[in-house]
């Protein structure tokens, strides 16, 4: 991979789309951006064990390698980099990248080793593939902010390209984990987006009390009997620090358990004041 990337750099810039596979339209939108902007478009496919905690869905994570290869090829991707865990991590792997503060709340609170694993594997992928641009979807907003912070703090020569959330027609954010949902649970899933939009409309109508917005968001999700709220928060869109009063740019972020799927979604609301 290192040699292929070096050859690719000679003819243009390298673009990297880091993924865990089982591609949906969200992944494909990242690939299209990389394909349009880069001389060498690389997709990494690696279900990274260090970002899963005990009891999480590492073993169950959905896979379809042949289908993924066909979809990436159809998008014109040059290289699918799909290493085995034993190639990525030495048996005595000992080095971890920690991004503090920005990873403390939201998903970091319920998944304590998650962002350490994400930052570590992305640092590894950056050093192996040496991309000039890396493509991340904004469904994983906190992940994108953590990687942006890592890029700045460790001086990686990489631009993170933020790509918009891709949604199903009923508003559900595309996620490989949506496959965990039964048909009945799938019918409950639009409650995330519906509740976020309603809370955003509250802000647009003038609500500035972040606690009130968060409570409204939480109650709206709880109207769905199959949904169990992990968190429903209103934080600063840059620092991800909790807000009391909504200022310039707020992130409304939710994580909701429906059946055995833990679904996340978010909405950035910008206000003039």
Residues that bind a second copy (CB under 8 A): 2, 89-90, 92-102, 119-120, 123-124, 127-128, 149-150, 152-157, 239
Could you tell me how far CA 138 lies from the centroid of its own chain? Answer: 6
Kindly state the smallest distance separating residue 126's Cβ from a second copy, in Å: 9
Kindly state the smallest distance separating residue 178's Cβ from a second copy, in Å: 31
Active site residue 27: yes
User: Nearer Cβ to a second copy, position 73 or 104?
Assistant: 104
In this structure, are residues 14 and 39 in contact, taking their beta carbons and an 8 Å threshold?
yes
β-strands 79-81, 40-45 pairing = parallel
User: Nearer Cβ to a second copy, position 127 or 201?
Assistant: 127
User: Nearer Cβ to a second copy, position 141 or 156?
Assistant: 156
User: Nearer Cβ to a second copy, position 95 or 273?
Assistant: 95
Q: Of 75, 71, 80, 9, give the one whose Cα is nearest residue 36.
A: 75
Q: Is 41 exposed, middle or buried (0-12, 13-18, 19+ CB in 10 A)?
A: buried
Kindly state the smallest distance separating residue 127's Cβ from a second copy, in Å: 4
Distances (CA, A) of 256 to 38, 81, 195, 262: 36, 32, 12, 6
Which residues have CB under 8 Å from 65's CB, separation 6+? 21, 45, 82
The dihedral formed by the CA atoms of 115, 86, 15 and 172, expressed in degrees to the nearest 10: -50
Kindly state the smallest distance separating residue 146's Cβ from a second copy, in Å: 9
Selecting among 24, 27, 114, 219, the annotated active-site residue is 27
């Amino acid at each position: 991979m290192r040699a292929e990337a070096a050859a690719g750099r000679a003819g243009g810039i390298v673009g990297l789309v880091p993924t865990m596979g089982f591609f949906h339209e969200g992944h494909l939108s990242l690939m299209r951006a990389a394909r349009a902007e880069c001389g060498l478009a690389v997709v990494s496919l690696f279900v990274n064990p260090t970002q899963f905690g005990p009891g999480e869905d590492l073993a169950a994570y959905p896979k379809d390698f042949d289908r993924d290869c066909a979809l990436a090829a159809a998008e014109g991707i040059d290289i699918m980099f799909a290493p085995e865990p034993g190639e990525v991590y030495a048996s005595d792997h000992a080095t971890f990248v920690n991004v503090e503060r920005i990873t403390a709340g939201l998903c970091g609170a319920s998944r304590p080793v998650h962002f350490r694993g994400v930052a570590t594997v992305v640092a590894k992928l950056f050093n192996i593939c040496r991309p000039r641009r890396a493509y991340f979807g904004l469904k994983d907003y906190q992940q994108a902010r953590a990687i942006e912070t890592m890029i700045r703090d460790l001086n990686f020569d990489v631009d993170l390209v933020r790509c918009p959330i891709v949604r199903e027609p009923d508003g559900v954010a595309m996620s490989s984990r949506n496959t965990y949902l039964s048909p009945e649970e799938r019918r409950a899933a639009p409650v995330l987006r519906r509740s976020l939009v309603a809370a955003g409309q509250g802000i647009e109508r003038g609500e500035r009390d972040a606690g009130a917005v968060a409570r409204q968001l939480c109650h709206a999700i709880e109207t769905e009997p199959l949904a169990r709220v992990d968190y429903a928060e209103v934080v600063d869109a840059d620092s991800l620090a909790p807000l009391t009063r909504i200022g310039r740019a707020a992130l409304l972020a939710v994580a909701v358990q429906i059946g055995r799927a833990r679904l996340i979604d978010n909405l950035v609301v910008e206000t003039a004041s």
